[in-house]
Amino acid sequence: LNDNPSHYKITLSGTVKSPKINCDPPFLMLMPVPLNVKTETAINIIPQDYLRQSQIQVELPELELEDGDRIYPFSVQFREGQDIVLSSDGTNKELICHISFRSSRPVSFLGNIFFIDEEEN
């Protein structure tokens, strides 16, 4: 003090952790099924480093068929909700997502399904 600030230095350091979402399994392969028959599987959504409640949204792909028609053969369901909740021990609870596929037209697909939070992580 006394007009001499060099005697008092404070050094602060920290780590900023950005929230992220992992999936288990990271890749999904659904079995071929006859037309109009649903195939389904469940995946674990593993949120990490969320400090406040958020909600998961899903972006499902639109498929374009050879004749130009567009279909949405995928659907998702979170039977226990889509909220990311901070537990008392500081971790985030895993969410179970059921992904299903059904199509009345022959189709195969290789692509992405995006899971995002309210802040687009």
pTM of structure: 0.79
| Strand (E) or helix (H) holding 58 | strand 57-59
The CATH number for 108's domain is 2.60.40
**Tens of pLDDT along the chain (121 residues)?**
566 666 667 788 888 788 889 999 999 998 889 999 999 999 999 999 888 889 999 999 999 888 989 999 999 999 999 999 888 787 899 999 999 999 999 988 888 999 998 888 8
Domain assignment present for residue 6? The answer is no
Extract the tokens encoding 120.
């687009």
Domain assignment present for residue 65? The answer is yes
Domain assignment present for residue 13? The answer is no
Displacement of CA 89 from its chain's centroid (Å): 22
Nearest to 96 by CA among 77, 114, 119, 115: 77
Domain that holds residue 43: 21-116
